[in-house]
Structure formats: C-alpha cells, structure tokens
Structure 1
Amino acid sequence: MHDDHALAALGTATAAMLATVRTTDPAATVPACPGWTVTDLVDHLGRVHLWAAHSARQGAPPDPYPRRDRSQPLADWYAACAATIVSTLAELSPDHPSWSFSADPAHRTARFWRRRQLHETTVHHVDALQAAGRLPVSGLVGDLPGLTAEDAADGVAEVFEVMAPRSLVRHAGLQPLDVIPAPAPIALCCTDVDASWTVRLVEGAVVLASGVAEGAVARVSGPATQLYLALWHRADPAELSVDGDQAAARALLGAALVP
C-alpha cells in the first residue's frame, strides 16, 4: 500500500468511526468482543491511537500506557485521539525511525503505523457498526463504507505479515503449529480484485508469498472484504469457498491469527 494512500485512508476510517460513535448507544454490546460495550471499544481504540502516535514519533512506546480523559464526552475524546494519530503520521516522513511491536526491521518506521492504524481502525469500525446493528455478523458483509477492495486485500496480507507473527510471540508457550495451523501451503484468493497469496508455517515462522503456489493443498476464495474480515473473525468464513483440503483451510480460518 502506498504511504500517502494509507494516510488518506486512515483519515477516512477515523472519520467514519467517529460518525458511528456519535450515533451509537455507548452501552451497546460488541458482538466480536465479548464483555465489551461500545464505550469499551472506543476507549481501546482511542488509547491505541495515542500509543501508536507516541511510538511513531518518539521511537519508544509511552510509559505509562495512555488513559482516557473521562472528563470529556466519549465521542469528543475519540475525535481528539483520531486527530492526534492522523496529524502525527502526516507530520512524520514515512521513513521516520519509529518503534513497533514487530520483529521485522522493515517495520521500524512511521510507514508501519500508517498501515497498521488504518487496519486497526477499520476492524474496530466494523465492531461499532455491528454493535449498532448496521452491519451483519453472518452472511455476506458486502461493501464497507470508505473501504476499497484493494484496501481490504492489503488487510489480508497485513494479517499474515504483521498480526500472525505477533500471535506467535503472544502465544510463545504453545507450539507454533497450534497457533498458525499451516504445515502445508494454503492459498488465499480475492475474487473481486487481482490479489492472491500462499501462506505456510516454515520452521516456526509465517511465510507469505504472492500468488497461488503450485503445491497449495487448499484454496480459500471470496470477496476481499469478506476474506479480510473473516480472518479477523468479524465476518462469516462459511461465505468463503474452499477448494482442496477443507479441514486445513477451515483450521487456518478459525485460528488465532489476530488478538
């Protein structure tokens, strides 16, 4: 994803999230986050924005972790947090040295945070829309306002480039294959945009390659948004088609690839 596009898309995503927050019951429950209300969701996302902004600018995560200013109305507080992350990343060069949770040296720049915060915001906007009853939790999701198929496809790749390796670290006490069950290559294909990948766990590490590998034991296909949100457990994986090894594909779709 181009850096300027990621920044613009982040601005669109935070604005959409804010509009949904302003029109949603803060006590509504969030289907994908058991025990959370919309207030909890917004509290989390706003603090993540502040954490990411500090990490990008200062080259280290904030200590202590940001807290919500409870003297402000929830939506107003979120608006300020969203403005902070967007303005911070706009002011920093994409190559500005930054801290990130990724072990990949290529992710230690502000560029990482433009992309990461776009997908963080998009997924949690889905949570807010589902809490408000404006987006289905089963069946086909369809179009998500402000999200292009290309952006959704980038989100599929980001799951395996960023979040799945993080899950391996978070679950270091487990065998890698128990976290990312992909001992054989599995292909992921978007049906509405020219994007496909093959993923496999090799010596305990996630390996993602563009295209469909000849030796893929299964192929998972569907619209980019459906595939993206299914990997985040925000959309119904049953709406995706699977060719080949059904068990292998469904195990990967059901795995804890993300927090």
Structure 2
Amino acid sequence: MDHLAVLGDLQSEFLETTRRADPDVRIPWLGRWTVRSLVVHLSRIHHWAAAQARREQETPLGRGPFDLPVLYEECARELRETLAELDPGARAWTLLDDGVPRSEQVGTVAFWHGRQVLETLVHLWDLRTAIGERLEVDDVLWLDCLDEAVTVMHPRQVRLGRVTAPTARVSFASAGTDAMLEVRGAPADATEAVVAGPVEALALIVWGRLGLDADGVEVRGDRGAAEALLAAGLTP
C-alpha cells in the first residue's frame, strides 16, 4: 500500500466534508464533541505527528478560534510534506517505543505513514457519520485498523499501565477473510470469546465507535469477557 497516497486521499475527503459540515453538529459517541472539536483534534494530531516524525517538540497551535478548513488544510499539508521529505527508515518518536527501554526502541518514520492513515480513516468515519453520510473505503483499510488496535494500541495500553493484561482470550474474526486476531497476554487456559462480523464493524468496535450489538456481529463463547475487554479499552 502507498500509505502517503492513501493519506492524501483520505485527507482530501476530510477537508471536503469539513467545508460543508455544520461545525456545531454533535458527535454523541465522542462525548461532548462536535464537528468543530473533531476537526481541531485531527488538525492537532497531524501537526503533532509531523513533529514526532522529525523528533521535535511541536509548536502549539493555540486555542483558536480557528477557520476550520484552513486549519485542517495547513496541518494536513504539513504532515504529508514532512513524511514525504523524511526517509521512511529514519528513526522517529513513535507509539511503539512508549514505555520501552531506549536500547530496545525501534520506531521509524514509516510508522507514522500507516498510523496517520488510520487516524484519518476513523475520524473521517466520525465526520461523515455525524452528518448522516456513509463512508465507502476498501476493507483492507479497516483490517489494518483492527490489526493496529489489537497488536499495537492494546499492548501499549498494557505497557503504560492504563489497563491490565486480559484474563480471557478474546479474538476478532473478520467475515469474508481468513483474519483472526487475538488480543495478547491472556493465559493459555483462559476462557475464550470470538467476536465475528464485518471487518468495518469490528474495527469500529475496538475503536469504541460501535458496540457488540452492531449489525452482522456475533459473539461466540464468553461474551462477558469480550465486554470487559472493550470496556477497559483497547485504544487510548
């Protein structure tokens, strides 16, 4: 996958939607957030990620108020240009290395190529869904999104002491693919649960956007274990 090309496409869709969305529309699954909150958040994340890739502290954007499309366009461009200029194999500050001894750190600029694609994907879904529109993207992106939550974000949550290691073996089975992703850290003899369904729904479940009652999703085995894992949070 050409992550920078995909990132540019998703950012273009986000910007286009920002230009016509009412900034005061609420996004209920994100607490008190509105479209305005979401656009400012993703702008700040792009700005911050560009600095992380450069191994620099970002210059704060300030409190606003902001012209939302202008803010987002500037921060999106900064991120793309930064990632395009840097060697993907160069060392960078990444989430992979949080809580890891310096001698074992492995993060590179390439991490931010994929991470920002998925950050933009989820928030584009938030934005489109908030204004009643469907987002159509290839399932491979949703599979990457699910994989990142299970194999990168949740281990980081455990490593930083934000959640405890799981006590049950919970896996996510994507309908229509051979993908079966198991959350790490549970004892081998622990009770098991399998959450199966469309890959988009599974990705949105682990990112806290949908619940286990989402269309097409079924839980086999210990449903309570799956509910407890999701309630604790696989992602920040």
Q: TM-score range by the shorter chain?
A: 0.7 to 0.9
Moved over 4 A (4+): 104-107, 213-216
Alignment of structure 1 residues 204-215 onto 2, 5 Å: none
* Distance in 2 (alpha carbons) for counterparts of 1:93 and 1:192: 36
Task: Report the identity percentage.
Answer: 35
Rate the CA distance shift 1:175–1:132 in 2: closer, same or farther, 3 A. closer
Matched ranges for 1:30-179 at <5 A: 30-57=27-54, 59-62=55-58, 64-67=59-62, 70=65, 73-103=67-97, 108-135=107-134, 144-145=135-136, 147-168=137-158, 172=161, 176-177=164-165
Distance in 2, Cα, partners of 1:16 & 1:115: 17
- In 2, the alpha carbon distance for the partners of 1:107 and 1:6 equals 19
Q: CA deviation at 1:87?
A: 1.8
Q: Which runs of 5+ in 2 are unaligned?
A: none
Deviation digits for residues 90-133 of structure 1 (CA, Å, limit 9, x no counterpart): 22221121112332656511111011111111111122122212
Report the CA distance shift for 1:6/1:194 in structure 2 as closer, same or farther (over 3 A): farther
Counterpart for residue 15 of structure 2: 18
- CA displacement at 1:27 relative to structure 2: 1.0
CA distance in 2, matches of 1:17, 1:89: 19
| C-alpha separation in 2, matches of 1:241 and 1:100 | 34
Question: 1:91–1:184: structure 2 CA closer, same or farther, 3 Å change rule?
Answer: same
- How many Å separate the matches in 1 of 2:106 and 2:167? 26
Cα contact 2:50–2:79 (8 A) shared by 1? yes
What is the aligned residue count? Answer: 229
Give the distance between the partners of 2:45 and 2:142, measured in 1 at CA.
Answer: 21
Deviation at 1:80, TM superposition (A): 1.3
Report deviation, 1:55: 1.2
Distance in 2 (alpha carbons) for counterparts of 1:122 and 1:176: 28
CA contact (8 A) 1:60 1:98 kept: no
The Cα shift of 1:85 comes to: 0.9
Q: Is the 8 A contact 1:28 1:37 kept in 2?
A: yes
The code of the aligned residue for 1:97 comes to R
Distance 1:128 1:86, change over 3 A: same
Q: CA deviation at 1:200?
A: 2.9
- With structure 1 as the length reference, what TM-score do the two structures score? 0.79
Partners of 2:43 and 2:75 within 8 A in 1: yes
Give the residue type in structure 2 aligned to 1:114: H
Task: Using the TM superposition, give the Cα deviation of residue 152 of structure 1 relative to its aligned residue in structure 2, in angstroms.
Answer: 0.7
Q: Which segments of 5 or more consecutive residues in structure 1 lack a partner in the other structure? A: 136-143, 204-212
Q: Hey, what's the Cα distance between the residues in 1 that align with 2:180 and 2:126?
A: 26
Change in 2 beyond 3 A, CA 1:100/1:158: same
